[in-house]
Amino acid sequence: MMPKNSEHTVSAFDDDIGELRALVSEMGGLAETAIGDAIHALIRHDLETASRIVEEDSRIDELESEVERLAVRLIALRAPMANDLREAVAAIKIATVLERIGDYAKNIAKRVPIFDHRTDIEPLSILPSMAQIVQEMVHNVLDAFAARDAEVAKQVIERDSAVDDFYDSLFRALLTYMMENSHNITQSTHLLFIAKNLERVGDHATNIAEMVYFAATGDYLDDRLVGEPPVPEAGETEE
């Protein structure tokens, strides 16, 4: 019943590339779900989901090393050329970035218990809309990766500025909020870190988009399109 696939001469090579891409996609699925779940857990104060996300992050780490191993073996044994080589290199880089995204999700999940059930931080209501855009970016860039669609990848990059805008406005809102009442400072700072994490996820989605674009076309995207990073504010640290 299965039609015999006879388009390729060295089908083992195609199998390897296919497996590599499948692993990256699986990682992507995990990372994407982790980000979505982390935000849900934060808003609903769902400690159970939060601890599950922290546990499941190890699966993403495992997959990352699997991708690396497979890609290195592929390059060493089969000496791929041109777009196949690009594909293998992109897979390694994307896997690294996805692992970071998983870490950010874990970071957000770890902060869930800090927010009390009754906490009513006004700026918290901005977070879901910001998370929504970030999630869509990750989702779309993974779709672009699966379809090798450079156009969709470009669209993802264009959305990053919206995330930065969200971050800036949240930053200001939280600053005002902290100034109003010093009791709020602890929670607001954690919220600020969460926003920062989301902003970084957005940046990473942009990175993946650049790699998808590179793997698909062989060209690097124009730097102007990628856009300026947001102005670093005082006290901001990379996580």
Nearer to another protein, 48 or 223 (CB): 48
> Smallest distance from the beta carbon of 24 to another protein, in angstroms?
9
Nearer to another protein, 26 or 168 (CB): 26
Which of 54, 85, 146, 175 is close enough to bind another protein by CB under 8 A?
A: 146
* Nearest CA-CA partner of 184 in 96, 99, 122: 122
Which of 12, 72, 77, 147 is close enough to bind another protein by CB under 8 A?
A: 147
User: How many CB atoms are closer than 10 A to CB 164?
Assistant: 17
How far from the centroid of its chain's Cα atoms is residue 71's Cα? 21
Count of residues in contact with another protein, rule CB under 8 A = 28
3 binds another protein (CB under 8 A): yes
Say if CB 239 and CB 200 are below 8 A apart. Answer: yes
Say if CB 177 and CB 188 are below 8 A apart. Answer: yes
Among the residue ranges 29-37, 82-90, 188-196, 223-231, the one whose residues contact another protein (CB under 8 A): 29-37
1 binds another protein (CB under 8 A): yes
CA separation for the pair 150, 86 (Å, rounded):
14
* Nearest CA-CA partner of 100 in 191, 23, 28, 17: 28
Which residues contact residue 169 at a Cβ distance below 8 angstroms, ignoring those fewer than 6 apart?
A: 126
Which residues contact residue 187 at a Cβ distance below 8 angstroms, ignoring those fewer than 6 apart?
A: 114, 115, 119, 121
28 binds another protein (CB under 8 A): yes
How many angstroms separate the Cα of 169 from the Cα of each of 17, 130, 175, 224?
A: 43, 11, 10, 23
148 binds another protein (CB under 8 A): yes
29 binds another protein (CB under 8 A): yes
103 binds another protein (CB under 8 A): no
32 binds another protein (CB under 8 A): yes
The interface with another protein within residues 120-139 (CB under 8 A) comprises: 132, 135-136, 139
Nearer to another protein, 21 or 192 (CB): 21
Nearer to another protein, 4 or 224 (CB): 4
Nearer to another protein, 48 or 238 (CB): 48
> Smallest distance from the beta carbon of 219 to another protein, in angstroms?
20
Which residues contact residue 148 at a Cβ distance below 8 angstroms, ignoring those fewer than 6 apart?
A: 212, 215, 216
Phi and psi at residue 158, in whole multiples of 5°? -65, -25
User: Which residues lie near another protein (CB under 8 A)?
Assistant: 1-3, 5, 18-19, 21-23, 25-26, 28-30, 32-33, 36, 56, 59, 132, 135-136, 139, 142-143, 146-148
